[in-house]
Amino acid sequence: MKKVLTIAGSDSCGGAGIQADLKAMSSLGVYGMSVITAVTAQNTMGVNDVLEVNKEMVSAQIRAIFDDINVDAVKIGMVSNSEIIKTISELLVDYKAKNIVVDPVMVSKSGYFLLREEAVEALKKLIAIADVATPNIPEAEVLTGMKIENEEHMKKAAKLIKEMGAKNVLVKGGHRCNDANDVLYSGAEFIVIKGSRIETKNTHGTGCTLSSAIASHLAKGYSVKEATELSKEYITKAIENSFSIGKGVGPVGHFIELYKKGGMDFE
């Protein structure tokens, strides 16, 4: 079995972060492992508080995994400060980690800043070691300093982020552009990955899920293009099967068939 590591924050309501990552990985048939960078107190209404894990503990978690287990891919999500980012990037280079997917998480859907302002430049250095970087439109705007309003803007942003060092860049259009199409840029060509906008408020964990799915498919030997296309299919189905668990934004559906077999009531 392929083994995939997620380095990210914990979501207490289980819709995003480490919890969404492990659900996506399990659903796609790889063994998920985790390094927790922060503990968040959140629910479907938003993020209430964040406690960062210190860099020493982040380092200890990473070393514990790589000293014992062959890691086939790494997904990186919430990394809130520059010290943690530096620790992660240095260790992944030292361990010669492969198939690194960086999801540059900055702000929660409820507007809570998950990345300190001082850490944006450090995050660019983490993107430099990525095999795939997966910013959404707001994140790509922060990274590039440009406004993104259409597909051509997405392509320009992808080129600018590619210049930061990432081997491939996937700019996700779901927040604002077209019909939720994404743009994948390898440096050699642009590939537009078609999407369909699904009318639902329950989209908690979409970015975490997509990046984890890409890492999982890369671990299984798919090319970046194949991994991205398969992951787009996966997240689309997960959004189609999203559901409410509280008063706000509900999670996407990872194990929808298992839930149905277990008699889950979706009302």
Q: What is the pLDDT of residues 150-171, one digit of tens each?
A: 999 999 999 999 999 999 999 9
pLDDT band at 113 (very low <50, low <70, confident <90, very high): confident
CA 6, CA 212: separation in Å to the nearest integer? 8
Q: What is the pLDDT of residues 114-140, one digit of tens each?
A: 777 778 888 999 999 999 999 999 999
* Cα 258 to Cα 29, 232, 253, 255, 266, distances in angstroms: 14, 21, 10, 5, 13
* Residues 219-240, mean pLDDT to the nearest whole number: 96
Q: What is the pTM of this model?
A: 0.95
Q: How many residues does the chain have?
A: 267
So what's the pLDDT on residue 267?
Answer: 57
Q: Which is the CATH superfamily of the domain at 3-261?
A: Ribokinase (3.40.1190.20)
**CB contact at 8 A, 146 and 108:** no
Kindly tell me if the per-residue pLDDT of 2 is higher than 60: yes
Q: Which of the two residues, 43 and 258, has the higher pLDDT score?
A: 43
**CB contact at 8 A, 204 and 251:** yes
So what's the pLDDT on residue 225?
Answer: 97
Strands (E), 109-216: 132-133, 169-171, 182-185, 190-193
pLDDT band at 185 (very low <50, low <70, confident <90, very high): very high
Q: What is the pLDDT of residues 72-81, one digit of tens each?
A: 999 999 998 9
* Residues 228-245, mean pLDDT to the nearest whole number: 94
Residues catalogued as catalytic: 172, 203, 205-208
So what's the pLDDT on residue 38?
Answer: 96
Mean model confidence pLDDT for the chain: 92
Q: Which two tokens stand for residue 107?
A: 């702000």
**What single-letter amino acid sits at 19?**
Q
pLDDT band at 58 (very low <50, low <70, confident <90, very high): very high
**CB contact at 8 A, 208 and 17:** yes
Phi, psi (5° rounding) for residue 17? 60, -150
Of the CA atoms within 13 Å of residue 119, those in its CB half-sphere come to 21
